[in-house]
Amino acid sequence: MQEYSVILTWEAIYDVIGFADYIEASFGKLQADRFQRTIKEQMEKLGVMGKAFPETQLIYRGYVIHKKPFPPSIIFYVVYGRYAGGPYTQGAAGGEWLGEDT
């Protein structure tokens, strides 16, 4: 099984910080710390299990967006790499690779 690196965008980092700030203000520091630890663990698992979660019908910069349940939320992400199925050529159903290996 291929392992991928997990790279968070700045937007994702700001979202997690915002969620953690809200949780801390509403439920306390322990709950916020628990949330941050849990979401970090789930995102790290995407490095090994990234292709295991369903694809959406959405494409972002030529990559299919996947979704991973994280109750009560959903983590949306893309998988880069030769065997990741992207970036897609226009109209290519199988995901012909056009880029370099990562």
- Cα(17)–Cα(39) distance, rounded to whole angstroms? 11
Residue pLDDT, tens place only, 64-74: 888 888 888 77
CB 99 within 8 A of CB 88: no
Whole-structure pTM over 0.85, yes or no?
no
Tokens matching residue 46 = 């995407």
85 or 43, greater pLDDT? 43
- DSSP state string for 1-65: ---------HHHHHHHHHHHHHHHHHH-HHHHHHHHHHHHHHHHHHHHHGGGSPEEEEEETTEEE
| Residue written as token pair 């012909």 | 96
In angstroms, rounded to a whole number, what is the distance separating the alpha carbons of residues 94 and 88? 8
pLDDT of 22 reads: 95
Question: What's residue 101's pLDDT?
Answer: 41
Q: What percent of the chain has pLDDT over 70?
A: 75
Give percent of the chain with pLDDT exceeding 90: 22
